[in-house]
Amino acid sequence: MLPEYFIVISNRFRPPGACSSVLGGLLLLGLGLAPGRVQGRLLHARDPEAAVENQRDFRSKYRAAAGFPFRARLSTDLPLRIRLGIMSGQGRIEFRTEANSTIQVGSKTFRSPAGSRWSILHLEGSAAVTRSRALLARVPYGHGAEARRMQQDWEARGHDVKVFPMGILLTDRRSGRRLNDSRCWFVTLEPEVSWTAAWNRCIELTAQGVNPTVYEEMVSAPSGRMALVDQRGKVQARGSSVEIQSPGEIKVYRVEHDQDLPQHGYEDRSFQGNIHVDVGQNGKLAVSTSLDLESYIKGVVPSEIYASDPMETIKAQAVAARSETLAGLGFSNPADPYDICSDQHCQAYRGEDHRSPRTDAGVAATRSQVLRYGDTILNAVYSDTCGGRTENLEKVWSLPPHPAMKGRWDLSSDPGALDLGGSEADLRRFLDETSAGYCSRSKGGDGRHFRWIESRTLAQITETVNRRYPVGQILSLTPVERGVSGRLRRLKVIGTKGETVIFKELAIRQALGGLKSALFLIEPQKDNSGHTTGFTFKGGGWGHGVGLCQSGARGRAEAGQDYRTILGHYYQNATIETLIGY
């Protein structure tokens, strides 16, 4: 029988040792091990295959992964703490301690007086070794028989199928009550020779009615060394990681944010508490910090919306962000030394400088409140601007359809019988409408994301597409499949050296040079000879469009709706519940 994996919230149980990983206030059970007896190391709760294949070999396999980034820092203190990624892939980190602090490099400890500036330099490193598999399905944990039937079916077709558990179970130890169960079975095919090969396999499977994605399986952890340099330029120590321990704020200079997104840039940011510098997935420097959940949400809300937004919008954002955070624990990239990133790939978090008393008040007013559907906390994803119509969950991610995450009109008037997913003419009529959406009418927003037009030259499109899809000079772009909101799910690209189908809305946006959303029409631009010189994209919205529309929530609050009504519209039949014991 396969083992179960439990994360138990506790403020009474005192473990027999400290485990160096990331989810504070949590205890990992269910592996048949005393957590304090694995030499302070648990690989991570979401890579259980070592225990599945041979539980007795668990200790030796985990000890062999020395230097691996960990996931579940054991602590007897509540509230729940998470490890937040600040940036990764860096060759140099510069920071300043605003209070008297200490810096730990291996066994060496250095004092850092208030106002001291330091650098950390990357010396050498090896990236994590990964294998790419096509992920066929995520089967609910209680439906193990279904996962096994799927495994047998695909094995009968000649595939080497791997089934393993992912996710975590959050339980209040005092009452024994389950707070959330995100466990599921991942059903994957045999490893491919490259990410591109796995992606092509996913495209083939899509034609067979499967909703797959690429799963990156880690074979070996990243490794490397770094140097701590003082403000005089002198190297003080070398090691594989650095921890800055401070009772006050730490300013990190030139934080790189939102890689591969239109808002990519650099910004100085301040963080309260300790800073960790580890070797990240690509063998370079990764920076993270540890903080409790409510402090994290107080940083997310003003980074995601305006502090001047209506209070009911702020409350709705706080509940959605808290729900997404808790529901997503246990599914981050195993090679990253943190639980969640600070970019819009996860949820934006810009540090202490961007917190506001007003948004802090909105978070405090909804403390511990989450969206729940059935027995599970809802992964309440959200985006900036839906453009008047939200999207089905399964049309954006490789997840099963969810009753609470279906696309809905977000308009103040009835649009009539428009088929945005099946009729290009209906989609054009919809995109010609510039004023009917809640996300276009809000006073607090500028409406510039509700409708937009962007153009790319042929050279620009060819360059961005060929970064990942080597098809040569682009000849044509053709929509293949759209979701209920009109967002592209599959785009056929024909070039001088071949053709491909780009699958998933984010991949499509990135391939076309970072478009705001996948809700757009494609208009080729021609010269006098009829040759294509570029493409114009007439679109609407900003982001994936699933769940809460932040601009729409602003417009609804301005129209008098409270946060419960707002959340009830975007997450159908979900309930708001106050967690007790976390």
Quick one: pLDDT at residue 440?
Answer: 82
- Dihedral pair phi/psi, residue 306, rounded to 5°: -85, 140
Boundaries of every domain in the chain: 1-78, 81-127+222-365
Residue 16: is its pLDDT beyond 60? no
- Least confident stretch, 63-77, 126-140, 441-455: 63-77
Q: Report the helix count and the strand count for the chain, using DSSP H and E.
A: 13, 31
- Position 442 scores a pLDDT of 63
307-364: pLDDT as tens digits: 999 999 999 999 999 999 999 888 877 778 998 999 888 899 999 999 999 999 999 9
- How far apart, in whole angstroms, are the C-alpha atoms of residue 109 and residue 245? 10
DSSP string for 159-214: ---EEEEE--EEEETTTTEEEEE--EEEEE-PPBSSHHHHHHHHHHHHTTT---EE
Least confident of 408-412, 507-511, 536-540: 408-412
Average pLDDT over residues 125-151: 94
* Distance from C-alpha of 500 to C-alpha of 127, rounded to nearest angstrom: 29
Q: Assess whether pLDDT exceeds 70 at residue 230.
A: yes
> Range with the lowest mean pLDDT among 15-24, 243-252, 274-283?
15-24
* Mean pLDDT confidence for 550-575: 96
CA distances to 150, 201, 211, 238, 265 from 208, rounded to whole Å, are 15, 11, 9, 53, 40
pLDDT at 403: 96
If you average pLDDT over residues 201-229, what whole number do you get?
91
**DSSP states of 110-125:** EEE-TTEEEEEEEEEE
Rounded mean pLDDT, 394-404: 92
Look at residue 145 and give its three-state secondary structure: helix
Task: Please say if the pLDDT value at position 277 is more than 60.
Answer: yes
Q: What is the mean pLDDT of residues 67-93?
A: 64
Six-digit token string for 26: 């949590």
The pLDDT of 534-563, averaged and rounded, is 96
The secondary structure element, H or E, covering residue 148 is helix 144-156
pLDDT band of residue 6 (cuts 50, 70, 90) is very low
Distances (CA, A) of 165 to 138, 153, 156: 9, 19, 22
Instruction: State the residue for tokens 């937040």.
Output: 84
What percent of the chain lies above the pLDDT cut of 90?
68
pLDDT band at residue 111 under the 50/70/90 scheme: very high
Question: In the block, which residue shows the tokens 């994290």?
Answer: 296
Q: Give the separation between CA 119 and CA 227, rounded to whole angstroms.
A: 8
Report pTM. Answer: 0.84
Average pLDDT score over residue span 97-116: 96
Confidence of residue 476 (pLDDT cuts 50, 70, 90): very high
Comparing 437 with 237, the larger pLDDT belongs to 237
Residue 22 above 80 pLDDT? no
**What is the average per-residue pLDDT within 241-259?**
94
Residue predicted with more confidence, 347 or 169? 347
Say if CB 438 and CB 556 are below 8 A apart. yes
pLDDT for 443 equals 59
Q: What is the pLDDT of residue 582?
A: 57
pLDDT at 79: 61
As a whole number, the mean pLDDT across the chain is 84
How far is 308 from 348, CA to CA, in rounded Å? Answer: 17
CA nearest 357: which of 301, 312, 274? 301
In terms of DSSP bridges, do strands 452-457 and 532-539 run parallel, antiparallel, or are they unpaired? antiparallel
